[in-house]
Every structure is written in structure tokens, then in C-alpha cells.
Amino acid sequence: MRIIDLSLPVKNGMRGVEITPAKTIENEGWNATTLKLYSHSGTHMDAPVHFLPGGSTMDEHDLNRLIGPAQVIDLAPAQPKQLFGVEDLKPFESKVTPGCRLLLKTDWYKTFGTPQYRDELPRISRELAHWLVEREVALVGVEAPSVADVNNIEELTDVHQILFRGGVVIVESLAYLDQLQSDEVQFIALPLKIMGGDGCPVRAVAQEGV
């Protein structure tokens, strides 16, 4: 069995991350740090309340959706600002079944640390979002920091709301999907149990050869 880490490292300098010393061995006898994390920093999961007034929160996620088999959909290499439509997933249609988890491999994580990563991200179209909902997808994971254009509030809101209203869990800023050797893996992405949370960094991993 292989375990593949699909998460970006969390470190100072990342958008929304600040890690500072709180205690030291020299002064208090132990090391500890204070973590300041934007709820959508690094590899993270969204909760419906992120874009839906009155939507469910991070602590209310159904854990059954966050652990289980996932289909790796190879869309690499994605182009800057590429808009993925239904036609892009048609070749994989047999894998898109009720309750499935989809990991969209685009190799976009390789642009992490550049302005392109956030400002020119490939994204899911409204049409594709509706199609995923109609096919009762349980979870979709992307390598970009968002499923939609973060610089277009109308698109950003629409795509998130379509997926959330359809019960689709959203995981963003995945990485290293190109290290997977199988097109079906066991996927695990668990957030902290934050009461009322709209999002949370996760440690996403895949298991192969289970």
C-alpha cells in the first residue's frame, strides 16, 4: 500500500498563514507556536455556509463523504484560465456515478507560489457544476485554489452555490496528483471540527494498492 500526500505544506509566507513562537524550551521548558490560519489557506475544504446564507458548517460535514474511493480524472495539463465544461469530463462519464468522489488532476499545483496560481486558475464552468450535481457527485477536489475564478465574484458565487446546493463537498488546492499511479484511490481529507466554520485547511491523502 502506498500513501501519497496530496496537501500543500503550511508555512509562513503562504496567503493567510502566520506561525509565531508562543513558548520556547529556553524560556518555558517546551516549544509551542501560535497558528493564524485563514480558513481557506493552503489545501482546504469549503463548507456550504461559505457562500450560502444559512448553509451548513464545517462541523456538520458528513464524514462518510470525506473518506472513501475516489476517481482521478486526468485533465492535465490545464491551460491558464481554462474553463472546464461537460465535454471535458465526457470521456470519464462512466466513472461519474452517484456518490462518487472526483479528483481533477490538472498539474496546476506546479504554479503554486506564483501570481498565476490564483489569478489565472483553471476552473469549473456553471454547466459542469450543474452536471456534477445532476450525477449526484459527493465530492470534487481541484488543484487550483478555487473551483471558480476568484477575481469574478458572480462566477465564484454561482459555481460554489450550484455545488453546495447539490450537496457536493469541495476540496481546493490539492497537490501532487501527478504522483498517483492509479486512476482510483482511497481518498481522505479531514478538517478540524470547527463549530460554525466556513472552511478549514485539511491534510488530504490518497491510498493506493488497498
SS3 200: strand
Q: Domain of 127? A: 2-8+39-208
Q: How many domains does the chain have?
A: 1
* Residue 137, in any domain of the structure: yes
* Residue 25, in any domain of the structure: no
Q: What's the rounded Cα separation, in Å, for the pair 26 and 67?
A: 41
By DSSP bridging, strand 83-84 and strand 123-124 are parallel
* Residue 140, in any domain of the structure: yes
Burial of 4 (0-12, 13-18, 19+ CB in 10 A): middle
* Residue 93, in any domain of the structure: yes
Q: Quick one: pLDDT at residue 193?
A: 97
What are the grid coordinates assigned to 191, written together? Answer: 478538517
- pLDDT per residue, tens digit, the chain (210 aa), is 999 999 999 999 899 999 999 999 999 999 999 999 999 999 999 999 999 999 999 999 999 999 999 999 999 999 999 999 999 999 999 999 999 999 999 999 999 999 999 999 999 999 999 999 999 999 999 999 999 999 999 999 999 999 999 999 999 999 999 999 999 999 999 999 999 999 999 999 999 986
* Residue 99, in any domain of the structure: yes
CATH number at residue 90: 3.50.30.50
By DSSP bridging, strand 17-23 and strand 83-84 are unpaired
Q: Quick one: pLDDT at residue 210?
A: 67
Q: Quick one: pLDDT at residue 2?
A: 95
Residue 69's nearest CA partner among 42, 51, 95, 48 is: 95
Beta carbons of 141 and 204 less than 8 angstroms apart: yes
* Residue 185, in any domain of the structure: yes
SS3 173: coil
* Residue 14, in any domain of the structure: no
Quickly count helices (H) and strands (E) in the chain: 4, 12
What are the grid coordinates assigned to 91, written together? Answer: 470521456
What are the grid coordinates assigned to 46, written together? Answer: 469549503
* Residue 21, in any domain of the structure: no
| pTM given for the model | 0.97
SS3 32: strand
